[in-house]
């Protein structure tokens, strides 16, 4: 499998599971901090899937991993927005500079992808077949609901 195909597969898997995890708390508590929202959502997931202690620990690990990556990706956000605003005010877009900004974030995500995949696998592998089916059903209903809104 090509390196780019692996990266895309990992990114899709990460996005899917992460979206599912965070979808349990969608549209609730928009004013919550990311940490509070993650705590709320892990509580909801724990309740809905009736997680045991080991599964709860795996979910907590996944939540902490995702929160850290979100913080890292959002770091220097103000500086990046200022740079982007400056670039937009120029007569022509500095494509090399824009691409470098994208590459920096992509490299950061790529570097952290193995940890995310390991956390996702740790959580998913600890679920039994009924819990996985509930998770799949919830993902499908959220995706159907999301597509109806747009």
Spell out the long-range contacts of 95-100 with Cβ–Cβ below 8 A and sequence spacing 24 or more: none
Q: What is the mean pLDDT of residues 32-59?
A: 90
Instruction: Check pLDDT > 90 for residue 16.
Output: no
Whether residue 15 contacts residue 7, with contact meaning beta carbons closer than 8 Å, is answered with no
User: How many beta carbons lie within 10 A of that of residue 66, not counting itself?
Assistant: 22
At 9, the pLDDT band (50, 70, 90 cuts) reads low
Q: How far apart are CA 111 and CA 56, in angstroms?
A: 26
Nearest to 117 by CA among 5, 34, 8, 11: 11
Q: What is the mean pLDDT of residues 5-19?
A: 60
Instruction: Check pLDDT > 70 for residue 2.
Output: no
At 102, the pLDDT band (50, 70, 90 cuts) reads confident
pLDDT of residue 147: 55
The total number of residues shown for the chain amounts to 150
Domain that holds residue 130: 3-149
Least confident among 14-23, 62-71, 119-128: 14-23
Instruction: Check pLDDT > 70 for residue 12.
Output: no
* Percent of the chain residues topping a pLDDT of 70: 75
At 122, the pLDDT band (50, 70, 90 cuts) reads very high
pLDDT of residue 129: 93
Number of domains making up the chain? 1
More confident residue, 19 or 105: 105
Q: What is the mean pLDDT of residues 130-148?
A: 79
Q: How far apart are CA 145 and CA 76, in angstroms?
A: 34
């Amino acid at each position: 499998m090509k390196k780019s195909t692996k990266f895309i597969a990992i990114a899709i898997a990460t996005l899917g599971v992460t979206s599912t995890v965070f979808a349990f708390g969608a549209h609730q508590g928009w004013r919550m901090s990311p940490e509070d929202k993650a705590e709320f959502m892990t509580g909801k997931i724990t309740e809905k899937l009736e997680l045991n202690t080991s599964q709860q620990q795996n979910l907590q690990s996944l939540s902490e991993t995702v929160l850290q990556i979100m913080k890292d990706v959002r770091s220097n956000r103000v500086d990046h927005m200022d740079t982007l605003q400056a670039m937009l005010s120029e007569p022509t877009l500095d494509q090399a500079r824009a691409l470098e900004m994208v590459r920096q974030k992509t490299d950061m995500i790529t570097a952290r992808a193995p940890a995310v995949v390991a956390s996702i696998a740790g959580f998913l592998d600890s679920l039994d077949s009924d819990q996985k089916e509930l998770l799949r059903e919830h993902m499908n209903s959220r995706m159907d609901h999301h597509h109806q809104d747009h």
